[in-house]
Amino acid sequence: MERDNQRRNSIITCLLSGVISASFLMSGILSVLFLVPLQAVASRKGIKSLLAASGVVFAVLCVDAVIGVKTWDQASLAIVAVELGVPLAFMVLLVLMDLSALSRIRVLVRVLIGTLAATALTVPFILYAAGNQGVMDGIRDQIKTVVGAFFPSGGQAENFEQSVLKAQLTPEGLFSLVSSVYLKSFAFMYYLLFSLTYWLGKRFGQIRVPGEQPGGLRRFSVPPYAIWLFIVPWAVVAASLLLPIGTIVEAVAWNVGLIVAFIYGLQGVGIVQSLFVRFAVSPVLRTVIVAVLVILAITPVVDLAIAIAFPCLGISELWVRYRNYSKGAD
């Protein structure tokens, strides 16, 4: 009887996790969190429950795709391929990252492996959709709708600032800008997605992350040789401002540079946390400092300075040993 109850509870947990995950994915604004319920159920129930919950998600997505498509033309097939293929690739990679065989590998490395694999698996789906003229025309039409909403025709006369902004934000110009930004940051976004998913999922699962260093970010450090993974990509990005180096090379440089900068930023955060403990900063003052940093991080112009400051702080530990004190102390 007890075993039957446990099995029933596991089935219900998998179904609920799958439905919640699918709901996140289809909601739009919460889609970046769709892997969190799956990671949470993996943490609590194991890899088999993760597979079952992922199956629920994929089934819901298939039903939604069949219901949502009115005409099965080439454009619809391309959109469905992306809507099903990309989440499926992410779920497969999440399963691989949770395999017990990889539990001894550092979380940082597992997330990097997941990012590289996600990039390799999803690029074909994205290229397939990008090669369909109907899909591209649909995206352009959506951009025109957005631009039209900001600059409606008729009504009040435009002032000088509005006319200049309207001249710069043409639908084609905005399409090119969005395409360029996506190409230069999509692997970085994958890395953020896997990092956030893994961390939140493990926390909701209420277990310590396998491979996580004791003390969390306070003892997080990047290997010294990783500095070359920071220097080389940003040198390529700088060179691209003066020389034609190719779109693919530039995109790879941007994505690698952003990922490594983010990792060094985590080290910078760990340094700050460690210094809080080392100098016995009171919880109230810590909260105030963190609140100020959060406010600055969402303030235009200043946010860029914050985004640069923490990676630079992390890199500076190559020469300044902020956490070089007695073993076992923070």
Domain chopping of the chain, boundaries: 1-141+189-212, 213-330
* Structure-model confidence comparison of residues 318 and 4, the more confident one: 318
* Structure-model confidence comparison of residues 102 and 237, the more confident one: 237
Of 18-27, 126-135, 174-183, 311-320, where does mean pLDDT reach its minimum? 126-135
Whole-number Å distance between alpha carbons of 29 and 38: 18
Share of the chain above pLDDT 70, in %: 76
Determine the pLDDT at residue 228: 93
Report which residue type is found at 59.
A
DSSP assignment letter at 281 = -
Q: Indicate the angle between helix axes 133-150 and 107-130, nearest 10 degrees.
A: 100
Residue 235 has pLDDT above 70, yes or no: yes
Determine the pLDDT at residue 126: 73
Average pLDDT over residues 53-60: 88
* Structure-model confidence comparison of residues 1 and 176, the more confident one: 176
Q: Which of the four pLDDT bands, split at 50, 70 and 90, describes residue 149?
A: low
Enter the tokens of residue 24: 């996140």
Residue 26 has pLDDT above 70, yes or no: yes
Average pLDDT over residues 175-191: 82
Q: Which of the four pLDDT bands, split at 50, 70 and 90, describes residue 233?
A: very high
Q: Which of 322, 115, 293 shows the shortest CA–CA distance to 217?
A: 322
Whole-number Å distance between alpha carbons of 105 and 257: 23
Whole-number Å distance between alpha carbons of 274 and 219: 8
Residue 128 has pLDDT above 80, yes or no: no
Are residues 236 and 245 in contact, defined by beta-carbon separation less than 8 angstroms?
yes
pLDDT tens digit string along 192-220?
888 888 777 777 766 544 444 445 677 78
Are residues 15 and 74 in contact, defined by beta-carbon separation less than 8 angstroms?
no
Of 134-148, 223-237, 268-282, where does mean pLDDT reach its minimum? 134-148
Q: Which of 205, 257, 200 shows the shortest CA–CA distance to 229?
A: 257
DSSP assignment letter at 213 = P
Determine the pLDDT at residue 262: 92
Can you list the alpha helix ranges (DSSP code H) found in the chain?
2-27, 36-45, 47-68, 74-97, 107-130, 133-150, 160-168, 171-204, 227-240, 247-278, 283-297, 302-316
Residue 330 has pLDDT above 50, yes or no: no
Q: Which of the four pLDDT bands, split at 50, 70 and 90, describes residue 120?
A: confident
Whole-number Å distance between alpha carbons of 278 and 179: 45
Residue 329 has pLDDT above 50, yes or no: no
Enter the tokens of residue 211: 């491979």
Residue 254 has pLDDT above 90, yes or no: yes
Enter the tokens of residue 139: 């995206």
Of 45-49, 103-107, 145-149, 325-329, where does mean pLDDT reach its minimum? 325-329
What does the mean pLDDT of the chain come to? 78
b vs e for 78-117, b when ≥16 Cβ sit within 10 Å of the residue's Cβ? bbbbbbbbbbbbbbbbbeebbeeebeeeebbebbbbbbeb
Report which residue type is found at 54.
S
Q: Is residue 35 helix, strand or coil? A: coil
Whole-number Å distance between alpha carbons of 117 and 93: 7
The model's pTM is: 0.77
Whole-number Å distance between alpha carbons of 322 and 274: 9
Tokens 């990012």 found at: 115
Average pLDDT over residues 76-100: 79
Q: Which of 54, 124, 60 shows the shortest CA–CA distance to 92?
A: 54
